[in-house]
Amino acid sequence: MAGKILEEFEHKIEDFTLIPGRGGVFEIVVGDELVYSKKETGEHTDYEAVAPAIRAIFG
């Protein structure tokens, strides 16, 4: 998923950090906004599900 995010938004991203999690934690944060949290939903997601939220932030 990281590769797809970088591919689509590379011209808008100033910084990209991958932080290894523990216990199945998977989150996507853009700026200060939490876009997706596996911890909250209990389910893993795919790029097509989170891309619209990222696009909305970048406008």
Q: Could you report the per-residue pLDDT of 40-59, keeping only the tens digit for each?
A: 999 989 999 999 999 999 98
Beta bridge partners of 37: 27
CA distances to 8, 23, 24 from 3, rounded to whole Å, are 9, 23, 20
Query: Does position 30 have pLDDT exceeding 90, yes or no?
Result: yes
Query: Does position 19 have pLDDT exceeding 90, yes or no?
Result: no
| pLDDT for the residue 24 | 81
With cut-offs at 50, 70 and 90, classify the pLDDT of residue 8: very high
Q: What is the DSSP letter of 43?
A: S
Q: Which pTM does this prediction carry?
A: 0.82
| pLDDT for the residue 28 | 92
| pLDDT for the residue 7 | 94
